[in-house]
């Protein structure tokens, strides 16, 4: 089952940084660097093949980013930013 950004999430890009929050209560968190890159890929197509897509964007092997992508998804899920389905 794939994960997508929750419909209750508000998103504001500010340059290379993205601010996101689950409405109505937050918290408001910001992602920079690779976090912002992974978030942008989530916006484009959910978490399908996310490790591979992140590796392609970063120009490295999937094994290099796999642990970080998994951890990022866990954090976002804990914050309620992602939903399954």
Partner 1 sequence: MGESTMVEPPLTVRVAFAHAALQHVADRHGVDVLHIKGPALDPQIVRPGRTSTDADIVVRPSHLRHFITALREAGWVQQEHFRSASSFEHSAAFRHPEWGLADVHRLIPGFTVPREQAFDRLWTDRHDATIAGRACPVPSLPAQVLIIALHAARSPGSGRADSDVEHSWGAADNDLRDEVKGLVTALGAEVPFSVVTGTLDEHRDDPQYLIWKVASRGGTRLEEWRARIKAARTPAAKTVLVLRAPLVNVDHLRMVRGRPVTWWEIVVEFFARPARGLGEWWKAQRS
Q: Which tokens is 70 given?
A: 């998994």
15 counts as binding partner 1 under rule CB under 8 A: no
Among 6, 46, 49, 68, binds partner 1 (CB under 8 A): 68
14 counts as binding partner 1 under rule CB under 8 A: yes
Q: Which tokens is 9 given?
A: 């999430």
Rounded least distance, CB 80 to partner 1, Å:
13
Inter-helix orientation angle 50-58/62-78, to 10°: 120
C-alpha–C-alpha distance, residues 50 and 56, integer Å: 10
Give residues in contact with partner 1 (CB under 8 A). Answer: 8-12, 14, 17, 19, 21, 23-35, 38, 65, 68-69, 71-72, 75, 79
């Amino acid at each position: 089952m794939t994960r997508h950004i929750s419909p209750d999430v508000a998103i504001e890009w500010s340059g290379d940084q993205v601010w996101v929050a689950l409405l109505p209560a937050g918290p408001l968190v910001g992602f920079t660097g690779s976090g912002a890159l992974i978030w942008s890929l989530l916006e484009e197509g959910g978490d399908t093949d996310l490790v591979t897509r992140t590796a392609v964007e970063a120009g490295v092997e999937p094994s290099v980013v796999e642990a970080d992508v998994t951890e990022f998804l866990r954090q976002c899920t804990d914050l309620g930013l992602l939903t399954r389905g």
